[in-house]
Structure 1
Amino acid sequence: MSNAPVPPVAERLHDAGIIDEARLAALQAATRAPWWLALLLGFAAWIAATMIMSSFFVPLLAFGSGPVARGVGGLLLAAASAFLFRLRKPFTDQMALAFSLAGQALFVSAFAARFFDLVEGADVLALAALAASVAMAAIPATTLHRSACALIALFSLAWQIGAGTGLALFGVALAGAAVALWLARLAWAAHPQAPLVKAAAHALTLAALVLAPYGHAHSALTALEEALTGYQTGFVLPVYRIGAALVLLATTAWLCRDTPSLRLPALAGALLFALATHPAPGLLVAVAVLLAVFHASHRPWIAMTLVFATLYLGELYYSLQDTLLVKSIALIASGAVLLALRTLLRARARRIA
């Protein structure tokens, strides 16, 4: 049983005779540990996992560093991870996460020609990572582990798609899927498969925010892509910008579905905002995700989305693609649109009150 304090609401329900001792004990067992205690337990678990894996790799290397030995070692670590997750303790959960990630990496490396040769045959490695992450995401585990596995699967799939318009469409699809899941949180929160859906929502959100700069002409992602592959942006920019704008418009329309009087002004404001921020389409994705996670009342993602939006603004400011005048006009126009929408919403709220 957890040593974390029982929530005051549970104590009051027990004192009022609404719940019995068994239910109170169940709530106490399900109570999360304080964040500082969870952080310390996680730090200790990763140190312990590192030491255990170090002692594990020594006899493994004694059998050789060939693909078979690496594959078997990865499967053993994955099995140990699945066993530790069944204990449902903060310490063992973090240790199991370390074992799972190490096992997946070892399994994927078995498909490389040499132990540290992870560049040659990268498509095969991406397929192996996709299969391993999907398999590990299916086992009963924590939301953090499933989110990490889903994120690995998404980026493996992105590697398979490759640079170009397909990756831009994939980034737009990630943003749309993430927004749709958060907007429908009330529908799946009580579903038996809610932990899997929640992990998918986390992974889709992070992947969409990370890939958002891909729609910018000289972002870090596109610069790295052109340096490695020689692929020019081509239709990537208009495809991603249009797709991001459609995601924002669809999100706005869904949120205003019960208020017809507000739907047209909100959609007009979203369209004007999309036109004003076209040099930085990552802001469109960030705003769409922000609206969705705010609707879902998920405070950590609200904060993270604002951080990503700040990074996109910094990227726009330091970009050499547009002149300072164009950047200033874009920022002034987008700010004016947001202030106008805020004034409209406040006026409507006063009329309702």
Structure 2
Amino acid sequence: MNEARKQLWAELSQQQLTHGDIPALETEYVPWYIALMQGFAGWIAALFMLGFIGSIFGWLFRFDNEVSLISVGLICCTGAYLLFRTRTGSVFFGQVGLAVSLCGQMMVAWGLFDWLPIRDALPFFLLAVFQILLTLVMPNFIHRLLTGWFALIAFFWGLDLLGLFGLGAAICSVLFVLVWINDRSWKGFQPVWEPVGYSLALALVQFNGHLILGNPLLDGFHEQSDSIWWHLSPWSAMAMVGLSTILLLQDIIKQYGVPLSSLIGRLILIGGVLIFISGQISTGVSSALLILLVGFAYQRQVLTALGLVALLSFVSWYYYNLATTLLIKSFILMGTGVALLLIRLGVRYVLNKKHVANAATPHDGLGETLFNFAPMNRLKWAVVAMMLLILAAVNITIFKKENLLATGETVLLELAPVDPRSLMQGDYMRLRFAIEREFQQEVPKENHDGHVLVDLDKNRVGRFAGIYRGEPLATQQAKLEYRMREGDIKFATNAFFFQEGKASVYEEAKYGEFAVSDNGELLLHRLRDDAYQVLGENQP
């Protein structure tokens, strides 16, 4: 093909139709859907090949063959390197090489942890060094991103085992900022530093947040140690997070030529202080803001999107774990939104004040300055209206539920035993009620949803009295709405949510307390023990 191109170029040159050297052959454009199918086919082929190899070398995992495991893993990584080098630009072979390399890395890690104690930091540091070498050597963007991420995780766990809790996340934040503020001077090494920068962002979100299996990595923070490093680590981490914020703000001020004495310079400093303070209250928020700020400052859309997702996710998690009622939570959200809008309007007013003062045309003062927005088309108005409707619907629902909790009739239902292995699942408790077994046989087959009639004793405990068919209720009776879902009977919910770390409080739960409306709608409110004492409120 190359010879034919050269011959054609020579003939055209002889006819004086062209001049100069033959142009370089441009890379053929491959549509994204074709690349996606090629990558999918590459993974299928790689999985079949790895399954075949695993059936042959499966004995390596059943016996103490650390050297053999590591050797075969290195061979797999070498084969992946050759695929990357010889098949540059091929999506199919690129994905095959990635799968083969991941298999080799797993073998190397398995061999290291068979060879060295898993509670020792040394195998984690050795694995981190191995991943760093792969990041530098392998000429593949996704491979470098993953190996850089794996290296940071191994390094984090190694520091964790040394008692340096939280220091790995702080080091990650500093490295993240150093990589991205020096992107202009590292252009020659872009194929290496760019995936490394993204892997640092992923690790930063994982170490300081609750995305991408972040909770298992944070478990070590709760293990108190007598080591001096355990006491110094929070202060060291705080100092390094502050250092990363200072480095980033310094580069932004230098890049955009903003004097510190100017109004914008002072606002930037105030923003940096707020980021640092938010990090002391909640490290997840500061990390997300740091990534978001880097994405905006250096026009990196992927970082901006990751920062937004991390910020929304952590705020949602933090809001969910607040030990307060839905009404208070809704007021917190509303107050936060109003405060952010006021800050936005205040900054807009301050920044436009000088411009309005120097304008030749008359203006209406503060109102025009604050609300001088660009004209909105119908689509924007429709989006705003839809958001307002959604917010109104959500808050109306919350208000109705809070009103039901405040004014509804109290009914207790006895809890039924469940499988102890599934009783406590994270921060919620799986519930079943004894009444479900009592009227399971009487539920009409044609009726999927309906109401059950219960008799109330002096302690407001409900006992099954039959299916409600519209008859008047007696004095000590109540009707409860039930739903049929996949053959199971549900009363409002089968889960009780509580604050993280409070599972032991609810181990003695005997009754579920419901607030019931006149039409039978019910809402799980509290759990009580066998003495009818309140153990805690539901935290949905």
What TM-score do the two structures reach when normalised by structure 2?
A: 0.52
Q: SS of the counterpart of 2:282?
A: coil
* Equivalent residue number for residue 181 of structure 2: 183
* Equivalent residue number for residue 144 of structure 1: 142
Q: SS of the counterpart of 2:134?
A: helix
Which amino acid in the other structure matches residue 319 of structure 2?
Y
The answer to whether the aligner puts 1:112 opposite 2:109 as a matched pair is no
Q: 2:197 aligns with which of 188, 201, 206?
A: 201
Unaligned segments of structure 1, at least 5 residues: 2-16
Q: Deviations over 1:74-129 (max 9, x none)?
A: 12211211111111111111111111111011012113339xxx984453431342
Q: SS of the counterpart of 2:113?
A: coil
Task: Note closer, same or farther for the CA distance 1:76–1:243 as it changes in structure 2 (3 Å cut).
Answer: closer
Give, in whole Å, the separation in 1 of the partners of 2:337 and 2:161. Answer: 29
Task: Note closer, same or farther for the CA distance 1:161–1:347 as it changes in structure 2 (3 Å cut).
Answer: farther
Q: How does 1:1-353 map to 2 (within 5 A)?
A: 22-23=23-24, 25-26=25-26, 28-29=27-28, 31=29, 33-61=30-58, 65=63, 66-86=65-85, 87-88=87-88, 89-113=90-114, 120-121=118-119, 123-162=121-160, 166-189=164-187, 191=188, 193-213=189-209, 220=215, 224-225=219-220, 229-230=223-224, 240-241=237-238, 243-257=240-254, 258-260=257-259, 261=262, 262-272=264-274, 274-275=276-277, 278-320=280-322, 336-337=342-343, 340-341=346-347, 343-344=349-350
Moved more, 247-256 or 162-171: 162-171
Give, in whole Å, the separation in 2 of the partners of 1:44 and 1:230. Answer: 48
> What's the offset of the Cα at 1:316?
1.9
Q: Deviations over 1:21-46 (max 9, x none)?
A: 623x33x34x5x33333322222111
Task: Note closer, same or farther for the CA distance 1:342–1:303 as it changes in structure 2 (3 Å cut).
Answer: farther
> What's the offset of the Cα at 1:195?
1.1
Task: Note closer, same or farther for the CA distance 1:123–1:281 as it changes in structure 2 (3 Å cut).
Answer: closer
Task: Note closer, same or farther for the CA distance 1:339–1:162 as it changes in structure 2 (3 Å cut).
Answer: farther
Conserved? CA contact 2:169–2:207, under 8 Å:
yes
Which amino acid in the other structure matches residue 99 of structure 1?
V
> What's the offset of the Cα at 1:206?
1.2
Conserved? CA contact 2:174–2:240, under 8 Å:
no
> What's the offset of the Cα at 1:336?
4.9
Which amino acid in the other structure matches residue 198 of structure 1?
E
Give, in whole Å, the separation in 2 of the partners of 1:181 and 1:268. Answer: 24
Give, in whole Å, the separation in 1 of the partners of 2:314 and 2:129. Answer: 32
Which amino acid in the other structure matches residue 224 of structure 1?
D
> What's the offset of the Cα at 1:130?
1.6
Give, in whole Å, the separation in 1 of the partners of 2:179 and 2:289. Answer: 15
Task: Note closer, same or farther for the CA distance 1:308–1:335 as it changes in structure 2 (3 Å cut).
Answer: farther
Give, in whole Å, the separation in 2 of the partners of 1:339 and 1:113. Answer: 60
> What's the offset of the Cα at 1:72?
2.4
Which amino acid in the other structure matches residue 169 of structure 1?
L
Greater helix proportion: 1
Conserved? CA contact 1:286–1:305, under 8 Å:
yes
Give, in whole Å, the separation in 2 of the partners of 1:19 and 1:305. Answer: 49
Task: Note closer, same or farther for the CA distance 1:350–1:159 as it changes in structure 2 (3 Å cut).
Answer: farther
Q: Deviations over 1:279-338 (max 9, x none)?
A: 223222222221212222221221111100111111221234799689667776666556
Q: Deviations over 1:155-177 (max 9, x none)?
A: 11111111698342332221122
Conserved? CA contact 2:294–2:304, under 8 Å:
no
Give, in whole Å, the separation in 1 of the partners of 2:358 and 2:185. Answer: 27
With a CA cutoff of 8 Å and minimum separation of 6, indicate the structure with the bigger relative contact order.
1
Moved more, 271-280 or 125-134: 271-280
Task: Note closer, same or farther for the CA distance 1:272–1:145 as it changes in structure 2 (3 Å cut).
Answer: closer
Task: Note closer, same or farther for the CA distance 1:61–1:140 as it changes in structure 2 (3 Å cut).
Answer: closer
* Equivalent residue number for residue 491 of structure 2: none
Task: Note closer, same or farther for the CA distance 1:343–1:44 as it changes in structure 2 (3 Å cut).
Answer: farther
Give, in whole Å, the separation in 1 of the partners of 2:35 and 2:358. Answer: 44
Give, in whole Å, the separation in 2 of the partners of 1:204 and 1:139. Answer: 18
Conserved? CA contact 1:130–1:157, under 8 Å:
yes
Which amino acid in the other structure matches residue 85 of structure 1?
F
Give, in whole Å, the separation in 2 of the partners of 1:202 and 1:303. Answer: 12
Moved more, 48-57 or 279-288: 279-288
Which amino acid in the other structure matches residue 305 of structure 1?
G
Task: Note closer, same or farther for the CA distance 1:38–1:253 as it changes in structure 2 (3 Å cut).
Answer: same
Higher Rg: 2
Conserved? CA contact 2:209–2:310, under 8 Å:
no
What TM-score do the two structures reach when normalised by structure 1?
A: 0.76
Q: SS of the counterpart of 1:297?
A: coil
Unaligned segments of structure 2, at least 5 residues: 2-17, 360-540
> What's the offset of the Cα at 1:131?
3.1
Instruction: Report percent identity of matched pairs.
Output: 20
> What's the offset of the Cα at 1:345?
5.0
> What's the offset of the Cα at 1:231?
5.2
Q: Once superposed, what is the RMSD of the aligned Cα atoms? A: 3.9
Give, in whole Å, the separation in 1 of the partners of 2:20 and 2:353. Answer: 44
Give, in whole Å, the separation in 2 of the partners of 1:284 and 1:310. Answer: 12
Conserved? CA contact 1:185–1:296, under 8 Å:
no
> What's the offset of the Cα at 1:249?
4.3
Which amino acid in the other structure matches residue 97 of structure 1?
L
Which amino acid in the other structure matches residue 78 of structure 2?
A
Give, in whole Å, the separation in 2 of the partners of 1:83 and 1:105. Answer: 19
Task: Note closer, same or farther for the CA distance 1:68–1:272 as it changes in structure 2 (3 Å cut).
Answer: closer
